[in-house]
Structure 1
Amino acid sequence: MTKIPENLRLLFLRLDLIAGVKDNQKISFKTNTYVDKDAWIGSILRTIQNERMEVSGISEISSICQCSVELYEMYGSSPPYGKILMNKIVDARRALNKLMLTYNSIGKNMVGSSINTSGILVLDSIIPDERRIAEGFSTLEEIGDPNKKISGDREVLNSSIITKKL
């Protein structure tokens, strides 16, 4: 069996961490843990560790997503790595949407917007249209048209997906 390249193995671990986020959870990249959005322990841990999603979390998400693009360009056509990587990218993209909705639900819309631009839109750029449609994600054409509505609870405005409460 072929050994997974180290850079790809490390990216798989980071994408799996993001993909593990459930509805109404936040993620700590320093401790690789998840905390319910209303849990007091999350605030204490973030204070002790000097970790803020607005800074370090968004930076980590951006780094992971940019690395995903680079490594997909490198390994995307290499079986079996390309298929495995795309599946992990799709799982992480789905989880980033949950994370964005969680932050929006507690009034941290700037964090939600940053997750969208630093993570979701970056991953969307490498997920093929047919896969995005199959997964229920928006297509890049919809993102580029500020007048076009997306089904569900989202609409596109100025090339960004804005979540609306129904």
Structure 2
Amino acid sequence: MAFLGFACLFCILTAGVTWIQESQRQVDTSLLDVYDGLYEQVLRESVFGQRERLLIMHQMLKCCGKMSGGIGTPDSLCDGTADMQDCLSVISNSLRAHWSWSQAIMLVCLGFTVHGMVLSSFLFFLLPRGSDWDRRGEYSLTKASKHPTANKDIPLALLLPLQTTEPSAV
């Protein structure tokens, strides 16, 4: 059961690592497009709720607008403590750091999962199976003495007298 659990976890982690590798660019592009759309909407329409969201995002990321394309940022969208960094580059750098951390964590978990699979399969084959748990530690040759011809490779079995299941009459 432990091996099957680790195998399912291995499949899930492998799919996660593959998804990170394949869709990192798509997620980065979509998040930058969301910021771009919000920024353009605030510049054109000046909606109060959207402006507040953009200001909170600028304070959280410690950036101010888009510097690329030669378009300046209005002073009303930046507070005085911002470092005037380009928000697109700050978002890209932040996403890159989060992607690398999540990928590292998933790869470490994948390593522990493979270790768990190997350990659980080793323990499965190491532990005795069947009904021999109650006889553990007992070494008896009674079965060997009943059929001495079947166990020619055991010299002690040949030395024991042949026992029968019938009680002896003494």
The alignment's TM-score, normalised by the length of structure 2, stands at 0.28
Greater strand share, 1 or 2? 1
Greater helix share, 1 or 2? 2
The alignment's TM-score, normalised by the length of structure 1, stands at 0.29
Q: Which has more radius of gyration? A: 2
The structure showing larger relative contact order (alpha-carbon pairs under 8 Å, at least 6 residues apart) is: 2
